[in-house]
Amino acid sequence: MNENRELQLEEVQGVSLWKDAWRRLLKNQMAVIGGIIVLLFIVIALFAPVIAPYSYEEINFDNPQINQPPSLAHPFGTDGLGRDLFSRVIYGSRVSIAIGFVTGLVALFIGVSYGAIAGFVGGKLDEMMMRFADILYSLPYMFFVILLMVIFGRNFIMLFVGIASVSWMTIARITRGQIMSLKNNEFVEAAKSIGASRRRIIFRHLIPNALGPIVVYLTLTIPSIMLEEAFLSFLGLGVQAPMTSWGLLAAEGKGVITTYPWQIIFPGLALTLMLFSLNFLGEGLRDALDPSQKNKL
């Protein structure tokens, strides 16, 4: 009676998590389209000087084309100073996208480190760290950023710092959750048994395995960062002339909405398209990496 008559359950062939996720992602049409559009935007931003027909500040002094509606020469029309809006939107994309991604990476770095340490060490330190993050989280962040901008002046660096300082918290929370659930996994025991230091365990073992949800939240954090920059720039507290971003372009157009609507519409559309694409890509990644989360809020 000691024979093992364990039922041979059908064993699904073990597929690597990433390959499986990639396959699922490709099946999601919206995510793929989103991804392509994001890549397109990035390429356009990188090659702006080559692609844009005019420079972003070029004014034709002999024959100023002020406030022209969209035409063949100026696909997005021109602004109040006669500058080509199409080029300005392209140049603006550089700043908006750069801020989005770079700040995203900064927030990623801060968030992952913070969350990983809190998650791994646990106990009192974790409690304190999370309590602090919770307090920060409950502040209306825009307020905070505006106050920061007021204090430290409206320069480019502060914009990065300001926005990053309110965006890292979600990533920290996700990382911490992941680390906590992975912490007691076998491969950590194995690493410990060969005497790996804690720092090594965190950075070489835990983080790579926690990467899935972190990547997902990165793609969902970047659009919110871009929105924050647009918000600040729109109010005049963000990017400053002569640089342009989509938010700043929209601000320039806001006074003449009813007379020259294209001046606010096109930057708005560009931003919207980018946001939509990033969101679809992010949702697609989330579904691909963890199908059980599908359709949850």
Partner 1 sequence: MLRYTLRRFLAMIPTLFVIITVTFFVIRLVPGGPFSREKALPEAVLRNIEQKYHLDEPMWKQYFRYMGDIVFRLDFGPSFRSRVFTVNDIIKRKLPVSFQVGVEALAVALVLGLAFGLVSALYRNRWPDYVFTGVSVIGISLPLFVIASIFILILARWLHLVPVAGWGGFEYHLIPVLSLAWPYMAYITRLTKVGILENMYKEYVMTARAKGLSESTILVRHVLKGSLIPVISFLGPAFAGIVTGSMVVESICNIPGIGVEFVQAAFNRDYTVITGITVVYATLLVVMNFLVDMVYAILDPRIRYK
Partner 2 sequence: MANNILLQVNDIRTVFKTDDGLIYAVNGVSYTLGRNEAIGVVGESGSGKSVCHLSMLRLIPQPPGKIVGGEVLFEGKNLLALSSEELRAIRGNDITFIFQDPMTSLNPFLKIETQMIEGIMLHKKVSRDEARARAIELFHRVGISDPEKRLAGYPHQMSGGMRQRVMIAMALMTKPKLLIADEPTTALDVTIQAQILELINTLRKEEGMSLILISHNLGVVAGMTERIIVMYAGYIVEENTTDEIFAHPRHPYTVGLIRSIPKIHEKREGKFYSIPGTPPNLLNLPDACPFYPRCDRRSDICTKKMPPLATNGQGRFACYHPYEE
Taking the least distance from each CB to partner 1, the nearer of 59 and 275 is: 275
Least spacing, CB of residue 295 vs partner 2, in Å: 13
Residue 50 contacts partner 2 per CB under 8 A: no
CA dist 272 → 87, 103, 162, 275 (Å): 18, 19, 23, 5
CA angle 232, 284, 290 (to 5 degrees): 115
Least spacing, CB of residue 245 vs partner 1, in Å: 12
Residues engaged in binding partner 1 (CB under 8 A): 140, 142-143, 146-147, 149-151, 153, 227, 230-231, 234-237, 250, 254, 257-258, 261, 264-265, 268-269, 271-272, 275-276, 279, 296-297
Least spacing, CB of residue 274 vs partner 1, in Å: 10
> Which of partner 2, partner 1, none sits in contact with 146, Cβ below 5 to 8 A by type?
partner 1
Ranges of H-type helices in 47-84: 48-51
Contact (CB, 8 A) for 48 and 84: no
Residue 10 contacts partner 2 per CB under 8 A: yes
Provide the 3-class DSSP secondary structure of residue 84: strand
Provide the 3-class DSSP secondary structure of residue 43: helix
Least spacing, CB of residue 16 vs partner 1, in Å: 32
The residue with tokens 């983080």 is 207
Least spacing, CB of residue 296 vs partner 1, in Å: 8
Distance between CA atoms of residues 77 and 154, nearest Å: 29
84 forms beta bridges with 78
Residue 294 contacts partner 2 per CB under 8 A: no
Residue 6 contacts partner 2 per CB under 8 A: yes
Tell me, what amino acid is at 277? S
Tell me, what amino acid is at 4? N
> Which of partner 2, partner 1, none sits in contact with 4, Cβ below 5 to 8 A by type?
partner 2
Residues binding partner 2 (CB under 8 A): 1, 4-10
